[in-house]
Structure 1
Amino acid sequence: MWPLLQSPFHVATVVLLFLVPNGKAFIRAIYNRNSTSQDFSALPALFGPPLPGKGLAGYLIEAMPANACHPIESPPAPRNSSTAFIALIRRYDCTFGAKVRHAQQAGYRAAIVHNVNSQALVDMTIGTEESQQQIEIPSVFTGEATSKLLRKICHSNEGARVILVPEYYHFAWEEVCRAISILVAVVTGILLIVKYTMGYHIWRKRRNPLREEQGKESSGSTFNRGVKYTECAICLETYEKGDMLKILSCSHAYHGKCIDLWLLTQTRNKTCPLCMQRVTVAAESPDLDIEGCIEEERDEGNQEDEEDGHNRERQ
Protein backbone atom coordinates (compact mmCIF):
# COMPACT_ATOMS: atom_id res chain seq x y z
CA MET A 1 0.00 0.00 0.00
CA TRP A 2 2.95 2.38 0.65
CA PRO A 3 3.86 2.85 -3.05
CA LEU A 4 0.22 3.72 -3.73
CA LEU A 5 0.18 6.41 -1.03
CA GLN A 6 3.56 7.67 -2.08
CA SER A 7 2.55 8.32 -5.67
CA PRO A 8 0.10 11.26 -5.11
CA PHE A 9 2.71 13.12 -3.03
CA HIS A 10 5.31 12.67 -5.76
CA VAL A 11 2.89 13.86 -8.42
CA ALA A 12 1.91 16.93 -6.37
CA THR A 13 5.56 17.81 -5.76
CA VAL A 14 6.42 17.60 -9.46
CA VAL A 15 3.36 19.67 -10.40
CA LEU A 16 4.27 22.39 -7.90
CA LEU A 17 7.83 22.56 -9.20
CA PHE A 18 6.54 23.19 -12.72
CA LEU A 19 3.77 25.59 -11.70
CA VAL A 20 5.77 27.85 -9.37
CA PRO A 21 6.85 30.91 -11.39
CA ASN A 22 10.31 32.40 -11.01
CA GLY A 23 11.40 36.03 -10.95
CA LYS A 24 8.04 37.57 -9.97
CA ALA A 25 6.67 39.31 -6.92
CA PHE A 26 3.64 41.24 -5.76
CA ILE A 27 2.92 44.12 -3.40
CA ARG A 28 0.20 43.59 -0.81
CA ALA A 29 -1.33 46.65 0.83
CA ILE A 30 -3.00 46.01 4.20
CA TYR A 31 -5.23 48.67 5.73
CA ASN A 32 -8.50 49.36 7.62
CA ARG A 33 -6.96 47.95 10.79
CA ASN A 34 -5.77 44.80 9.06
CA SER A 35 -9.27 43.98 7.81
CA THR A 36 -8.62 44.77 4.13
CA SER A 37 -5.84 43.78 1.74
CA GLN A 38 -5.14 44.40 -1.93
CA ASP A 39 -2.46 42.89 -4.16
CA PHE A 40 -0.52 44.58 -6.97
CA SER A 41 1.86 43.10 -9.56
CA ALA A 42 5.57 43.82 -9.35
CA LEU A 43 8.96 42.59 -10.54
CA PRO A 44 11.93 42.09 -8.18
CA ALA A 45 15.20 43.78 -9.11
CA LEU A 46 17.95 41.78 -10.76
CA PHE A 47 20.39 43.02 -8.15
CA GLY A 48 20.53 43.12 -4.37
CA PRO A 49 19.25 40.36 -2.04
CA PRO A 50 16.04 38.51 -2.87
CA LEU A 51 12.85 39.12 -0.95
CA PRO A 52 12.46 36.99 2.17
CA GLY A 53 10.39 33.86 1.62
CA LYS A 54 7.57 35.10 3.85
CA GLY A 55 7.74 38.65 2.56
CA LEU A 56 9.01 41.96 3.90
CA ALA A 57 6.50 44.25 5.64
CA GLY A 58 6.92 47.96 6.28
CA TYR A 59 5.34 51.40 6.20
CA LEU A 60 5.45 53.16 2.82
CA ILE A 61 7.04 56.62 2.57
CA GLU A 62 7.58 58.66 -0.59
CA ALA A 63 11.21 59.49 -1.25
CA MET A 64 12.35 63.13 -1.05
CA PRO A 65 13.45 63.94 -3.72
CA ALA A 66 10.95 61.68 -5.50
CA ASN A 67 13.42 60.23 -8.03
CA ALA A 68 16.05 59.47 -5.33
CA CYS A 69 18.86 60.41 -7.69
CA HIS A 70 20.48 62.21 -4.76
CA PRO A 71 20.61 61.32 -1.07
CA ILE A 72 17.04 61.27 0.30
CA GLU A 73 15.54 62.11 3.68
CA SER A 74 15.62 59.40 6.30
CA PRO A 75 12.37 57.83 7.55
CA PRO A 76 11.08 58.75 11.03
CA ALA A 77 12.68 57.12 14.03
CA PRO A 78 11.26 53.60 14.41
CA ARG A 79 9.08 52.85 17.40
CA ASN A 80 10.88 49.54 17.93
CA SER A 81 13.45 47.35 16.23
CA SER A 82 10.80 45.48 14.26
CA THR A 83 9.41 48.62 12.57
CA ALA A 84 10.52 48.87 8.93
CA PHE A 85 10.06 51.54 6.28
CA ILE A 86 9.86 51.10 2.50
CA ALA A 87 10.74 53.93 0.11
CA LEU A 88 8.48 54.73 -2.89
CA ILE A 89 10.69 56.08 -5.69
CA ARG A 90 9.92 57.49 -9.15
CA ARG A 91 11.63 56.08 -12.26
CA TYR A 92 14.07 57.92 -14.61
CA ASP A 93 16.77 60.61 -14.22
CA CYS A 94 19.35 58.13 -12.87
CA THR A 95 20.12 54.43 -12.64
CA PHE A 96 18.09 51.95 -10.63
CA GLY A 97 21.19 51.09 -8.62
CA ALA A 98 21.64 54.72 -7.53
CA LYS A 99 18.01 55.03 -6.42
CA VAL A 100 18.07 51.86 -4.30
CA ARG A 101 21.50 52.69 -2.87
CA HIS A 102 20.27 56.11 -1.69
CA ALA A 103 17.26 54.45 -0.04
CA GLN A 104 19.60 52.04 1.70
CA GLN A 105 21.85 54.83 2.92
CA ALA A 106 18.84 56.72 4.31
CA GLY A 107 17.84 53.71 6.46
CA TYR A 108 15.02 52.14 4.44
CA ARG A 109 14.64 48.36 4.55
CA ALA A 110 13.39 48.08 0.94
CA ALA A 111 12.45 50.18 -2.09
CA ILE A 112 9.59 50.28 -4.58
CA VAL A 113 10.42 51.96 -7.89
CA HIS A 114 7.40 52.85 -10.02
CA ASN A 115 7.01 53.59 -13.72
CA VAL A 116 5.96 57.00 -15.09
CA ASN A 117 2.95 57.36 -17.40
CA SER A 118 2.86 53.62 -17.82
CA GLN A 119 1.76 50.49 -16.01
CA ALA A 120 4.36 48.36 -17.80
CA LEU A 121 6.83 46.39 -15.68
CA VAL A 122 10.53 46.38 -16.55
CA ASP A 123 13.54 44.54 -15.15
CA MET A 124 15.71 46.68 -12.92
CA THR A 125 19.39 46.09 -13.66
CA ILE A 126 22.61 47.61 -12.40
CA GLY A 127 25.72 48.86 -14.24
CA THR A 128 29.16 47.33 -13.93
CA GLU A 129 30.52 50.34 -12.08
CA GLU A 130 27.73 50.19 -9.53
CA SER A 131 28.13 46.44 -8.98
CA GLN A 132 31.19 47.14 -6.84
CA GLN A 133 29.05 49.13 -4.41
CA GLN A 134 27.12 46.50 -2.49
CA ILE A 135 23.35 46.90 -2.23
CA GLU A 136 21.94 45.14 0.83
CA ILE A 137 18.19 45.87 0.59
CA PRO A 138 15.67 44.25 -1.78
CA SER A 139 13.68 46.29 -4.29
CA VAL A 140 10.81 45.82 -6.76
CA PHE A 141 9.41 47.63 -9.80
CA THR A 142 5.73 48.42 -10.36
CA GLY A 143 3.46 50.55 -12.58
CA GLU A 144 2.34 54.15 -12.10
CA ALA A 145 -1.31 53.29 -11.42
CA THR A 146 -0.17 50.99 -8.64
CA SER A 147 1.96 53.75 -7.09
CA LYS A 148 -1.03 56.13 -7.06
CA LEU A 149 -3.23 53.56 -5.33
CA LEU A 150 -0.50 52.83 -2.79
CA ARG A 151 -0.14 56.55 -2.00
CA LYS A 152 -3.89 56.92 -1.57
CA ILE A 153 -4.15 53.89 0.72
CA CYS A 154 -1.19 54.87 2.89
CA HIS A 155 -2.25 58.54 3.20
CA SER A 156 -5.91 57.89 4.01
CA ASN A 157 -5.54 54.91 6.35
CA GLU A 158 -3.61 55.26 9.56
CA GLY A 159 -1.43 52.26 10.21
CA ALA A 160 -1.62 51.03 6.61
CA ARG A 161 1.43 49.07 5.54
CA VAL A 162 2.68 47.14 2.54
CA ILE A 163 4.25 43.72 2.23
CA LEU A 164 6.66 42.81 -0.56
CA VAL A 165 6.09 39.14 -1.25
CA PRO A 166 7.85 36.85 -3.73
CA GLU A 167 5.06 35.51 -5.93
CA TYR A 168 6.37 31.97 -5.76
CA TYR A 169 5.63 31.96 -2.01
CA HIS A 170 2.10 33.25 -2.52
CA PHE A 171 1.44 30.96 -5.46
CA ALA A 172 3.02 27.91 -3.86
CA TRP A 173 1.01 28.33 -0.67
CA GLU A 174 -2.28 28.36 -2.56
CA GLU A 175 -1.22 25.35 -4.62
CA VAL A 176 0.01 23.50 -1.54
CA CYS A 177 -3.36 24.03 0.17
CA ARG A 178 -5.15 22.78 -2.93
CA ALA A 179 -2.80 19.82 -3.28
CA ILE A 180 -3.20 18.93 0.40
CA SER A 181 -6.99 18.96 0.04
CA ILE A 182 -6.81 16.66 -2.98
CA LEU A 183 -4.32 14.34 -1.29
CA VAL A 184 -6.43 14.14 1.87
CA ALA A 185 -9.46 13.16 -0.22
CA VAL A 186 -7.46 10.57 -2.20
CA VAL A 187 -5.79 9.05 0.87
CA THR A 188 -9.09 9.00 2.77
CA GLY A 189 -10.75 7.20 -0.12
CA ILE A 190 -7.92 4.64 -0.33
CA LEU A 191 -7.99 4.02 3.42
CA LEU A 192 -11.78 3.57 3.39
CA ILE A 193 -11.55 1.07 0.53
CA VAL A 194 -8.77 -0.86 2.29
CA LYS A 195 -10.64 -0.73 5.60
CA TYR A 196 -13.89 -2.10 4.23
CA THR A 197 -12.12 -4.68 2.05
CA MET A 198 -10.09 -5.99 4.96
CA GLY A 199 -13.08 -5.77 7.27
CA TYR A 200 -15.17 -7.82 4.85
CA HIS A 201 -12.53 -10.58 4.65
CA ILE A 202 -12.19 -10.63 8.44
CA TRP A 203 -15.97 -10.83 8.77
CA ARG A 204 -16.05 -13.73 6.29
CA LYS A 205 -13.35 -15.56 8.20
CA ARG A 206 -15.12 -15.07 11.51
CA ARG A 207 -18.47 -16.05 10.06
CA ASN A 208 -17.48 -19.20 8.20
CA PRO A 209 -14.78 -21.04 10.18
CA LEU A 210 -17.13 -23.89 11.13
CA ARG A 211 -18.51 -24.10 7.62
CA GLU A 212 -15.00 -24.40 6.17
CA GLU A 213 -14.15 -27.19 8.61
CA GLN A 214 -17.44 -28.92 7.86
CA GLY A 215 -16.73 -28.72 4.14
CA LYS A 216 -13.60 -30.80 4.66
CA GLU A 217 -15.34 -33.54 6.65
CA SER A 218 -18.98 -33.47 5.57
CA SER A 219 -21.67 -31.17 4.28
CA GLY A 220 -23.14 -30.56 7.76
CA SER A 221 -23.60 -31.83 11.32
CA THR A 222 -25.97 -34.79 11.48
CA PHE A 223 -28.05 -35.20 14.61
CA ASN A 224 -30.06 -38.10 15.97
CA ARG A 225 -33.01 -37.43 13.65
CA GLY A 226 -30.94 -37.83 10.52
CA VAL A 227 -31.29 -34.13 9.64
CA LYS A 228 -28.23 -31.97 8.82
CA TYR A 229 -27.91 -28.54 10.43
CA THR A 230 -25.19 -25.99 9.67
CA GLU A 231 -26.63 -22.63 10.69
CA CYS A 232 -29.63 -21.08 12.39
CA ALA A 233 -32.13 -19.88 9.78
CA ILE A 234 -33.29 -17.07 12.11
CA CYS A 235 -30.04 -15.32 13.07
CA LEU A 236 -28.05 -16.79 10.13
CA GLU A 237 -25.14 -17.61 12.47
CA THR A 238 -23.19 -20.85 11.95
CA TYR A 239 -23.61 -23.37 14.77
CA GLU A 240 -20.60 -23.76 17.01
CA LYS A 241 -19.69 -26.18 19.74
CA GLY A 242 -21.59 -25.35 22.91
CA ASP A 243 -24.62 -23.83 21.14
CA MET A 244 -27.95 -25.00 22.57
CA LEU A 245 -30.46 -26.00 19.88
CA LYS A 246 -34.15 -26.76 19.84
CA ILE A 247 -35.70 -29.08 17.24
CA LEU A 248 -39.28 -28.48 16.21
CA SER A 249 -41.79 -31.20 15.39
CA CYS A 250 -41.04 -30.59 11.69
CA SER A 251 -37.41 -31.61 12.35
CA HIS A 252 -35.98 -28.13 11.76
CA ALA A 253 -33.50 -26.96 14.40
CA TYR A 254 -32.70 -23.47 15.65
CA HIS A 255 -30.86 -21.75 18.47
CA GLY A 256 -33.02 -22.12 21.55
CA LYS A 257 -33.17 -18.37 22.25
CA CYS A 258 -33.91 -17.60 18.59
CA ILE A 259 -36.83 -19.98 18.21
CA ASP A 260 -38.25 -19.02 21.61
CA LEU A 261 -38.36 -15.38 20.53
CA TRP A 262 -39.87 -16.37 17.18
CA LEU A 263 -42.64 -18.39 18.78
CA LEU A 264 -43.41 -15.62 21.28
CA THR A 265 -44.20 -13.26 18.41
CA GLN A 266 -46.94 -15.63 17.19
CA THR A 267 -50.06 -15.38 19.31
CA ARG A 268 -52.16 -18.17 17.81
CA ASN A 269 -50.60 -20.63 15.40
CA LYS A 270 -46.98 -21.48 16.02
CA THR A 271 -45.21 -22.06 12.70
CA CYS A 272 -41.71 -23.02 11.61
CA PRO A 273 -39.73 -20.10 10.09
CA LEU A 274 -38.60 -22.35 7.22
CA CYS A 275 -41.54 -24.59 6.23
CA MET A 276 -44.29 -22.49 7.90
CA GLN A 277 -45.94 -25.67 9.27
CA ARG A 278 -47.73 -25.63 12.59
CA VAL A 279 -45.21 -26.93 15.03
CA THR A 280 -44.33 -27.34 18.65
CA VAL A 281 -41.01 -27.93 20.24
CA ALA A 282 -40.49 -31.69 20.13
CA ALA A 283 -41.09 -33.16 23.56
CA GLU A 284 -38.38 -35.75 23.11
CA SER A 285 -35.90 -33.07 21.97
CA PRO A 286 -35.13 -30.56 24.74
CA ASP A 287 -32.33 -28.03 24.45
CA LEU A 288 -29.53 -29.79 22.59
CA ASP A 289 -25.82 -29.13 22.73
CA ILE A 290 -24.19 -29.56 19.33
CA GLU A 291 -21.25 -31.47 20.73
CA GLY A 292 -23.57 -33.50 22.92
CA CYS A 293 -25.77 -34.31 19.95
CA ILE A 294 -22.80 -35.50 17.95
CA GLU A 295 -21.60 -37.66 20.82
CA GLU A 296 -25.13 -38.98 21.31
CA GLU A 297 -25.34 -39.84 17.65
CA ARG A 298 -22.03 -41.67 17.83
CA ASP A 299 -23.15 -43.63 20.90
CA GLU A 300 -26.38 -44.63 19.21
CA GLY A 301 -24.44 -45.66 16.13
CA ASN A 302 -22.12 -47.79 18.24
CA GLN A 303 -25.10 -49.38 20.01
CA GLU A 304 -26.71 -50.22 16.69
CA ASP A 305 -23.45 -51.78 15.48
CA GLU A 306 -23.23 -53.90 18.64
CA GLU A 307 -26.83 -55.06 18.27
CA ASP A 308 -26.21 -56.02 14.64
CA GLY A 309 -23.13 -57.97 15.74
CA HIS A 310 -25.11 -59.88 18.41
CA ASN A 311 -27.85 -60.68 15.93
CA ARG A 312 -25.33 -62.10 13.47
CA GLU A 313 -23.80 -64.28 16.16
CA ARG A 314 -27.20 -65.71 17.08
CA GLN A 315 -27.91 -66.50 13.46
Structure 2
Amino acid sequence: MSKFLLCALVFCCLTNRSCSVVQLKSVYTSFPDSPARFTGGLNGSAICGDLRLADPIDACSPLLNEVEYSESGSERIALIVRGGCAFEEKVRHAQDSGFRAAIVYDDEHNQDLISTVMGSSEGIWIHAVFVSNAVGEILKEQAVAKGGECCIASFLDETAWTVLVISFISVLAVITLLVMVFFSFNHRWNHIQQPGPIVMEGEEVDVIPCIMYYSANLTGHVGETCAICLEDYKDRENLKLLPCNHVFHATCVNSWLTKWATFCPVCKHDARVGIVSSE
Protein backbone atom coordinates (compact mmCIF):
# COMPACT_ATOMS: atom_id res chain seq x y z
CA MET A 1 0.00 0.00 0.00
CA SER A 2 1.33 3.41 -0.99
CA LYS A 3 1.99 5.81 1.85
CA PHE A 4 0.34 9.19 1.84
CA LEU A 5 2.44 11.98 3.32
CA LEU A 6 0.44 14.90 4.66
CA CYS A 7 2.11 17.91 6.16
CA ALA A 8 0.21 20.70 7.94
CA LEU A 9 2.76 23.50 8.15
CA VAL A 10 1.79 26.32 10.51
CA PHE A 11 3.75 29.57 10.51
CA CYS A 12 3.20 32.95 12.23
CA CYS A 13 3.03 35.99 9.98
CA LEU A 14 3.12 39.63 10.91
CA THR A 15 -0.68 39.63 10.76
CA ASN A 16 -0.89 36.89 13.41
CA ARG A 17 -2.52 34.62 10.81
CA SER A 18 -1.12 31.22 9.90
CA CYS A 19 -1.21 28.84 6.98
CA SER A 20 -1.33 25.07 6.64
CA VAL A 21 0.21 23.21 3.73
CA VAL A 22 -1.07 19.72 2.96
CA GLN A 23 1.37 17.57 1.02
CA LEU A 24 -0.23 14.69 -0.87
CA LYS A 25 2.09 12.80 -3.19
CA SER A 26 4.31 15.87 -3.65
CA VAL A 27 1.31 18.11 -4.48
CA TYR A 28 1.11 21.17 -2.24
CA THR A 29 -2.13 22.95 -1.44
CA SER A 30 -2.39 25.80 1.06
CA PHE A 31 -5.24 26.17 3.55
CA PRO A 32 -5.90 28.78 6.24
CA ASP A 33 -5.89 27.61 9.86
CA SER A 34 -6.26 29.09 13.31
CA PRO A 35 -3.81 28.08 16.08
CA ALA A 36 -5.38 27.82 19.55
CA ARG A 37 -4.16 30.69 21.75
CA PHE A 38 -4.17 28.60 24.92
CA THR A 39 -2.06 25.64 23.75
CA GLY A 40 1.70 25.13 23.66
CA GLY A 41 3.64 26.95 20.95
CA LEU A 42 6.01 25.50 18.40
CA ASN A 43 8.88 27.95 19.03
CA GLY A 44 10.28 27.35 15.57
CA SER A 45 10.27 23.55 15.89
CA ALA A 46 8.10 20.90 14.23
CA ILE A 47 5.77 18.16 15.41
CA CYS A 48 5.67 15.18 13.07
CA GLY A 49 3.93 11.86 13.46
CA ASP A 50 1.13 9.53 12.49
CA LEU A 51 -2.28 11.15 12.08
CA ARG A 52 -4.98 9.23 13.97
CA LEU A 53 -8.73 9.75 14.25
CA ALA A 54 -9.75 10.39 17.84
CA ASP A 55 -12.00 7.74 19.38
CA PRO A 56 -14.61 9.10 19.95
CA ILE A 57 -14.00 11.48 17.09
CA ASP A 58 -15.44 14.51 18.94
CA ALA A 59 -13.07 13.86 21.91
CA CYS A 60 -15.72 14.97 24.38
CA SER A 61 -14.87 12.02 26.65
CA PRO A 62 -11.58 10.26 27.47
CA LEU A 63 -10.13 8.81 24.27
CA LEU A 64 -9.98 5.06 23.69
CA ASN A 65 -6.99 5.37 21.36
CA GLU A 66 -3.94 3.35 22.33
CA VAL A 67 -1.00 5.62 21.57
CA GLU A 68 1.78 3.08 21.30
CA TYR A 69 5.49 3.85 21.63
CA SER A 70 7.42 4.10 18.37
CA GLU A 71 11.11 3.21 18.16
CA SER A 72 11.49 5.76 15.39
CA GLY A 73 10.45 8.46 17.79
CA SER A 74 7.42 9.37 15.69
CA GLU A 75 4.72 11.17 17.62
CA ARG A 76 0.94 10.79 17.29
CA ILE A 77 -1.37 13.61 16.19
CA ALA A 78 -5.11 13.43 16.91
CA LEU A 79 -7.72 14.49 14.34
CA ILE A 80 -10.87 15.70 16.10
CA VAL A 81 -14.19 17.11 14.90
CA ARG A 82 -15.59 20.29 16.42
CA GLY A 83 -18.82 20.26 18.45
CA GLY A 84 -20.32 18.58 21.48
CA CYS A 85 -17.97 20.18 24.02
CA ALA A 86 -15.41 22.94 24.41
CA PHE A 87 -12.29 23.11 22.22
CA GLU A 88 -10.21 23.13 25.39
CA GLU A 89 -11.81 19.88 26.64
CA LYS A 90 -11.01 18.14 23.36
CA VAL A 91 -7.35 19.18 23.58
CA ARG A 92 -7.07 18.00 27.19
CA HIS A 93 -8.47 14.56 26.31
CA ALA A 94 -6.00 14.26 23.43
CA GLN A 95 -3.13 15.23 25.72
CA ASP A 96 -4.24 12.78 28.43
CA SER A 97 -4.25 9.98 25.84
CA GLY A 98 -0.63 10.61 24.86
CA PHE A 99 -1.10 12.60 21.65
CA ARG A 100 1.56 15.22 20.93
CA ALA A 101 -0.76 17.56 19.03
CA ALA A 102 -4.38 17.94 17.97
CA ILE A 103 -6.03 19.15 14.78
CA VAL A 104 -9.68 20.11 15.27
CA TYR A 105 -11.74 20.55 12.10
CA ASP A 106 -15.03 22.38 11.70
CA ASP A 107 -18.20 20.27 11.71
CA GLU A 108 -19.93 22.75 9.39
CA HIS A 109 -19.13 24.04 5.91
CA ASN A 110 -18.40 27.60 7.02
CA GLN A 111 -16.91 29.98 4.49
CA ASP A 112 -15.03 31.99 7.10
CA LEU A 113 -12.56 30.30 9.43
CA ILE A 114 -13.00 31.49 13.03
CA SER A 115 -9.70 33.08 14.04
CA THR A 116 -10.22 33.41 17.80
CA VAL A 117 -9.83 30.10 19.65
CA MET A 118 -9.50 30.74 23.37
CA GLY A 119 -9.44 28.68 26.56
CA SER A 120 -7.49 28.08 29.74
CA SER A 121 -3.82 27.20 29.20
CA GLU A 122 -3.35 25.72 32.67
CA GLY A 123 -1.87 22.23 32.39
CA ILE A 124 -1.89 22.18 28.56
CA TRP A 125 1.46 21.69 26.80
CA ILE A 126 0.53 20.09 23.46
CA HIS A 127 -0.08 22.18 20.33
CA ALA A 128 -3.48 22.46 18.61
CA VAL A 129 -4.87 24.11 15.50
CA PHE A 130 -8.35 24.63 14.04
CA VAL A 131 -9.00 23.99 10.33
CA SER A 132 -12.01 24.13 8.05
CA ASN A 133 -14.40 21.29 7.36
CA ALA A 134 -12.96 20.82 3.85
CA VAL A 135 -9.40 20.46 5.16
CA GLY A 136 -10.63 18.14 7.92
CA GLU A 137 -12.27 15.80 5.42
CA ILE A 138 -9.03 15.59 3.43
CA LEU A 139 -7.03 14.79 6.57
CA LYS A 140 -9.71 12.33 7.72
CA GLU A 141 -9.34 10.27 4.54
CA GLN A 142 -5.62 9.93 5.15
CA ALA A 143 -5.84 9.39 8.90
CA VAL A 144 -7.51 6.01 8.40
CA ALA A 145 -4.78 4.85 6.01
CA LYS A 146 -1.76 3.08 7.45
CA GLY A 147 1.37 5.16 7.16
CA GLY A 148 -0.46 8.47 6.91
CA GLU A 149 1.88 11.09 8.39
CA CYS A 150 1.39 14.68 9.38
CA CYS A 151 3.63 17.54 10.48
CA ILE A 152 2.76 20.77 12.21
CA ALA A 153 5.74 23.07 11.95
CA SER A 154 6.88 26.64 11.73
CA PHE A 155 7.16 27.37 8.04
CA LEU A 156 10.90 27.99 7.89
CA ASP A 157 12.26 25.67 5.22
CA GLU A 158 15.74 25.77 3.79
CA THR A 159 14.84 28.37 1.17
CA ALA A 160 13.17 30.56 3.76
CA TRP A 161 16.24 30.42 5.98
CA THR A 162 18.44 31.40 3.02
CA VAL A 163 16.23 34.36 2.20
CA LEU A 164 16.14 35.32 5.88
CA VAL A 165 19.94 35.31 6.21
CA ILE A 166 20.45 37.26 2.99
CA SER A 167 17.82 39.79 3.99
CA PHE A 168 19.35 40.17 7.43
CA ILE A 169 22.81 40.83 6.02
CA SER A 170 21.40 43.26 3.44
CA VAL A 171 19.61 45.42 5.99
CA LEU A 172 22.11 45.16 8.85
CA ALA A 173 23.88 48.38 7.84
CA VAL A 174 20.57 50.22 7.45
CA ILE A 175 19.36 49.04 10.86
CA THR A 176 22.61 50.12 12.48
CA LEU A 177 22.29 53.55 10.92
CA LEU A 178 18.70 53.90 12.07
CA VAL A 179 19.65 52.92 15.63
CA MET A 180 22.43 55.51 15.67
CA VAL A 181 20.07 58.20 14.38
CA PHE A 182 17.44 57.22 16.92
CA PHE A 183 19.78 57.51 19.90
CA SER A 184 21.35 60.74 18.62
CA PHE A 185 17.94 62.41 18.60
CA ASN A 186 16.52 60.50 21.54
CA HIS A 187 16.26 63.64 23.70
CA ARG A 188 13.59 64.98 21.33
CA TRP A 189 11.25 62.12 22.21
CA ASN A 190 11.96 61.72 25.92
CA HIS A 191 8.59 63.27 26.74
CA ILE A 192 6.68 60.82 24.56
CA GLN A 193 5.30 57.80 26.40
CA GLN A 194 4.67 54.57 24.59
CA PRO A 195 0.95 53.74 24.68
CA GLY A 196 -0.04 50.49 26.35
CA PRO A 197 -2.44 47.95 24.91
CA ILE A 198 -5.84 49.47 24.15
CA VAL A 199 -8.61 47.66 26.00
CA MET A 200 -11.94 48.59 27.54
CA GLU A 201 -12.58 49.24 31.20
CA GLY A 202 -15.01 47.09 33.12
CA GLU A 203 -17.43 49.99 33.45
CA GLU A 204 -17.51 50.41 29.67
CA VAL A 205 -18.18 46.72 29.12
CA ASP A 206 -20.95 46.71 31.72
CA VAL A 207 -23.09 49.09 29.65
CA ILE A 208 -23.12 46.78 26.63
CA PRO A 209 -26.69 45.43 26.41
CA CYS A 210 -27.34 41.82 27.43
CA ILE A 211 -29.93 39.45 25.99
CA MET A 212 -31.06 35.99 27.06
CA TYR A 213 -30.77 33.25 24.47
CA TYR A 214 -33.77 31.12 23.55
CA SER A 215 -33.34 28.70 20.67
CA ALA A 216 -37.07 28.91 19.90
CA ASN A 217 -36.91 32.68 19.41
CA LEU A 218 -33.85 33.24 17.24
CA THR A 219 -33.59 36.67 15.63
CA GLY A 220 -31.73 37.70 12.52
CA HIS A 221 -28.61 38.91 14.36
CA VAL A 222 -28.31 36.02 16.81
CA GLY A 223 -26.57 32.88 15.59
CA GLU A 224 -26.22 29.57 17.39
CA THR A 225 -22.50 29.60 18.18
CA CYS A 226 -20.16 31.93 20.08
CA ALA A 227 -17.30 32.86 17.74
CA ILE A 228 -14.90 33.31 20.67
CA CYS A 229 -15.14 29.93 22.48
CA LEU A 230 -16.71 28.01 19.56
CA GLU A 231 -19.44 26.75 21.91
CA ASP A 232 -23.10 26.54 20.89
CA TYR A 233 -25.47 28.72 22.88
CA LYS A 234 -27.78 27.12 25.42
CA ASP A 235 -31.22 28.29 26.44
CA ARG A 236 -31.27 30.98 29.14
CA GLU A 237 -27.60 31.84 28.68
CA ASN A 238 -26.66 35.51 28.94
CA LEU A 239 -25.33 36.96 25.70
CA LYS A 240 -24.02 40.41 24.88
CA LEU A 241 -24.96 42.35 21.76
CA LEU A 242 -22.18 44.57 20.41
CA PRO A 243 -23.02 47.75 18.45
CA CYS A 244 -22.17 45.88 15.24
CA ASN A 245 -25.01 43.41 16.04
CA HIS A 246 -22.67 40.45 16.61
CA VAL A 247 -23.55 38.39 19.69
CA PHE A 248 -21.26 36.40 22.03
CA HIS A 249 -21.34 34.74 25.43
CA ALA A 250 -21.28 37.56 28.00
CA THR A 251 -18.25 36.09 29.84
CA CYS A 252 -16.36 35.48 26.61
CA VAL A 253 -16.78 38.96 25.16
CA ASN A 254 -16.12 40.60 28.56
CA SER A 255 -12.75 38.84 28.72
CA TRP A 256 -11.97 39.71 25.09
CA LEU A 257 -12.74 43.43 25.44
CA THR A 258 -10.95 43.91 28.78
CA LYS A 259 -7.83 41.84 28.03
CA TRP A 260 -7.27 41.63 24.27
CA ALA A 261 -8.82 44.42 22.20
CA THR A 262 -11.68 46.89 21.89
CA PHE A 263 -13.02 45.60 18.58
CA CYS A 264 -15.47 42.85 17.62
CA PRO A 265 -13.64 39.50 17.11
CA VAL A 266 -15.68 38.88 13.94
CA CYS A 267 -15.93 42.15 12.00
CA LYS A 268 -13.26 44.28 13.82
CA HIS A 269 -15.78 47.08 14.46
CA ASP A 270 -14.77 49.22 17.46
CA ALA A 271 -17.10 48.10 20.27
CA ARG A 272 -16.82 51.53 21.90
CA VAL A 273 -18.56 53.20 19.00
CA GLY A 274 -22.31 53.18 19.44
CA ILE A 275 -22.40 52.29 23.14
CA VAL A 276 -24.63 54.61 25.16
CA SER A 277 -23.34 55.33 28.68
CA SER A 278 -25.71 54.73 31.59
CA GLU A 279 -24.60 57.96 33.25
User: TM-score, normalised on structure 1?
Assistant: 0.43
Bigger radius of gyration among the two: 1
Larger % of helix: which? 1
- For normalisation by structure 2, the TM-score amounts to 0.48
Which one has more relative contact order, counting CA pairs under 8 Å at least 6 apart? Answer: 2
